[in-house]
Structure 1
Amino acid sequence: MNCPDCGNERTRVIDTETSADGTSVRRRRECQRCSFRFTSYERPEWDSLQVKKRDGSIESFDFEKLRAGIERAVEKRHVPEEDVTNLVEEVESDLQSRETRIVSSSLVGDLVSERLRELDQVAYIRFVSVYKAFSEPEEFLRELDAVLDSKLDASSSIDSTDKSDTS
Structure 2
Amino acid sequence: MRCPFCSSEDSKVVDSRSTEDNLAIRRRRECLSCNKRYTTYEKIEEMPILVIKRGQHREFFNREKLIRGIVTACQKRPVTRAIIEDIANDIEKSLNNKMMVEIKSEELGEMVLEKLKYIDEVAYVRFASVYRQFDDIDTFIQEIDKLRNLK
* TM-score interval, smaller chain: 0.5 to 0.7
Instruction: Name stretches of at least 5 consecutive residues in structure 1 with no aligned partner.
Output: 1-44, 152-167
Spell out the pairing of 1:81-160 with structure 2 (5 A cutoff).
81-151=81-151
The one-letter code sitting in structure 2 at the alignment partner of 1:67 is I
Bigger proportion of residues as helix: 1
The percentage of counterpart residues that share the same residue type is 34
What do you get for the CA RMSD once the two structures are aligned?
1.5
Runs of 4+ in 1 over 4 A off after TM superposition: none
Query: Which digits, 9 at most, give the CA deviation of each residue in 1:9-45, with x for residues without a partner?
Result: xxxxxxxxxxxxxxxxxxxxxxxxxxxxxxxxxxxx9
- CA deviation after TM superposition for structure 1 residue 144, in Å: 0.8
- Please give the alpha-carbon distance, in whole angstroms, between the structure 2 residues aligned to 1:112 and 1:141: 20
Contact preservation (8 Å) 1:46, 1:101: no
Mark the structure with the bigger radius of gyration.
1
- Please give the alpha-carbon distance, in whole angstroms, between the structure 2 residues aligned to 1:79 and 1:145: 23
The residue number in structure 2 matching 1:70 is 70
SS at match of 2:150: helix
- CA deviation after TM superposition for structure 1 residue 96, in Å: 1.4
Instruction: Name stretches of at least 5 consecutive residues in structure 2 with no aligned partner.
Output: 1-44
- Please give the alpha-carbon distance, in whole angstroms, between the structure 2 residues aligned to 1:83 and 1:105: 22
